[in-house]
Amino acid sequence: MKIELICTGSELLSGKVNTNAAYIGSRLSEIGLELSSITDVGDKKYDLLQEFKRAFERSNVVITTGGLGPTFDDITVETAAECLNLEIYSDKKVLKSIEEYFLKRGINSAPKNNERQSNIIKGAKVLKNCLGTAPGQMLHFKFKNGEKKCRKTLFLLPGPPREMKRIFEENIEPFLKSYSIGIKKTAVLHVFGISESAVEEMIKPIMKEAMFANSKFVEFGILASGSVIDVKFSVSGTDELIVDETINNLKLRLNNVLKDNIFGADKDTLASVVGRLLFENKKTVSFAESCTGGMLAAAITDIPGSSLYFKNSVVAYSNESKIKLLNVRERTLINFGAVSGETAKEMAEGILKLSGSDYAFSVTGIAGPDGGTKEKPIGLVYIGFTDKKETKSFRFNFNGTRDDVRERAVNTVLDLLRRNLESV
């Protein structure tokens, strides 16, 4: 079965990240299916019409996201209907649900433009949207390929990810599962502390052996983001026990090679793993941040329940605030500078004294794009650490943009804390 995805919206052609495609691709992979192609197309009727024609000719299932809104550039429904030479009608039930949506929000009548969202292609099944005003649509139709007509299925989904995901999980996934042949399971191991090329070199023998022994039934991928390396592997088959056994064996072998550089698996993040370790060890942590500007606090408080182990974070961006809030000595700043191991240590000691936590980390650095010197280049970051027994600092030189440097600094602090907790 060939499944194709068309994502509409001119914003996708001018830099907006297409998260819908990543989501749909991953969900299909989990049920043993895959996308044959992904196309981003702008809000121009002719371009979208051509993409529909090509997709209907080559694929059994076509999924679209976007273009179901109330404005003039939302043209997916009318363009699909035109391509299939089908009529459009206004569905009274959908129109009523749109009106109720606005009434619940204290608006007595739906804006006139939103009435367009009740337009349904004749013969399509309406897929209820509990989170928005644009319903999805599912249409079975015959499309001529050469001399014969073939049965095809079209799914129209709204563009907002929250709405799209709900409709996909409730309607499309169950439908496609019935066409899935065999089982495909995927696992991800998250690595920090070594480079992408080093990871590849370390796991290459395992990949070669697994792929040689299992032919097309085992797939590997390596992805780097913000110093975090994801090792992803999928196993396909018809026997779930064998698939599970293969997955577990691969996990064991990869763990033996990558060792403590693996910090988690699947949906784990550095922050969630650190949070779990702090909770299990009944420890608390605080941060003193300069160049990261509160990003450390944001990362750790993204995890529900973090109030049990996170005390506080002080953003001391200026030298004055470092002195007043963290008791960094003025002579330390004069003699060594704000970006130094000495300042990082005093910042950590200051926040530990202020918070009374078990662990304290500090970050001070030059994130760029300006401010670097020969002695202290852009990307130079010092991380301070103290736990009431010892105080030390770590020096790092991170590459990349300002955002890259700050993200790498945050991940490095979390990883240092993780390793410390795992050694307890």
State pLDDT tens for residues 268-284. Answer: 999 999 999 999 999 99
Phi, psi at 379, each rounded to 5°: 100, -10
User: How many whole angstroms separate alpha carbon 84 and alpha carbon 149?
Assistant: 13
At position 278, the amino acid (one-letter code) is L
- When pLDDT is averaged across residues 224-233 and rounded to a whole number, the result is 89
- When pLDDT is averaged across residues 72-80 and rounded to a whole number, the result is 96
* CA 143 from centre of chain: 36
Per-residue pLDDT of 21-67, as tens digits, reads 999 998 998 787 889 999 999 999 999 999 999 999 999 999 999 99
Distant-in-sequence, close-in-space partners of 30: CB < 8 Å, separation ≥ 6: 184, 185, 186
User: How many whole angstroms separate alpha carbon 344 and alpha carbon 32?
Assistant: 50
User: How many whole angstroms separate alpha carbon 169 and alpha carbon 272?
Assistant: 25
- When pLDDT is averaged across residues 146-159 and rounded to a whole number, the result is 91
- Domains of the chain plus CATH, in order, are 3-177 (3.40.980.10), 183-265 (3.30.70.2860), 270-422 (3.90.950.20)
240 falls in which pLDDT band (50, 70, 90)? confident
User: How many whole angstroms separate alpha carbon 97 and alpha carbon 101?
Assistant: 6
Question: Of 259, 248, 267, 254, which Cα lies nearest the Cα of 200?
Answer: 254
- DSSP per-residue letters across 103-148: HTTT-SS--GGGGGGGEEETTPEEE--SSSS--EEEEEEEEEETTE
Residue 216 pLDDT exceeds 70: no
Distant-in-sequence, close-in-space partners of 281: CB < 8 Å, separation ≥ 6: 421, 424
199 falls in which pLDDT band (50, 70, 90)? very high
Q: What angle do CA 155, 21, 403 make, to 5 degrees?
A: 155
| pTM: predicted TM-score of the whole model, two decimal places | 0.76
In this prediction, residue 214 carries a pLDDT of 63
154 falls in which pLDDT band (50, 70, 90)? very high
Residue 174 pLDDT exceeds 90: yes
